[in-house]
Amino acid sequence: MAKKKNELWEWTKALVIAVLLAAVIRYFLFAPIVVDGLSMMPTLHDQDRMIVNKFSYKIGEPERFDIIVFHAPENKDYIKRVIGLPGDKIEYKDDTLYVNGKAYDEPYLDEYKKQVIDGPLTEPFTLKEMIGQETVPEGHLFVMGDNRRFSKDSRHIGPVPMEEVLGDAGVIYWPIEDIRIVD
């Protein structure tokens, strides 16, 4: 009888530890997210399942062109690409990104740029026109979807406060044929 109680206690402890460990991993380190919509095409597809690294920005800062997940104003989580960091001056001209006056190549847009026949993929703008400021405010990021014509991003909702960023979304784990690390 004592042996059965001891075995039950050991199983209970193992189960409690497993649940606590899963909760810590899920809420503090990594979390799954489902891509909802076409705003990150062709890089990400609707219903792709990804892992969000919540820990990455606790020990470091986002970098330009990272794909991040953040809480949007509509009480929904968005997934977008970081275009501007705090203090950056952002401008689009002739379908080219300029950050602080320097042109940047965006190879992840090449596929869509080839398909567009009725104007630029990304309409020209300056940060001043979009948010009323010359530079991305301190503690904020300027983000855009890769599907520039069909993305609700910082051009519409404004810069994203760093405290709203959940983490870096760099791994697709489903569907199986699309498993990869995303640039």
Out of 56, 80, 151, 154, the active site residue is 80
HEC states along the chain? Answer: CHHHHHHHHHHHHHHHHHHHHHHHHHHHHEEEEECCCCCCCCCCCCCCEEEEECCHHHHCCCCCCCEEEEEECCCEEEEEEEEECCCCCEEEECCEEEECCEEECCHHHHHHHHHCCCCCCCCCEEHHHHHCCCCCCCCEEEEECCCHHHCCCHHHHCCEEHHHEEEEEEEEEECHHHCEECC
User: Which residue among 39, 56, 151, 154 is the active-site one?
Assistant: 39
Question: Among this protein's residues, is 80 annotated catalytic?
Answer: yes
Concerning whether 39 is annotated as a catalytic residue, the answer is yes
Indicate which residues carry an active-site annotation: 39, 80
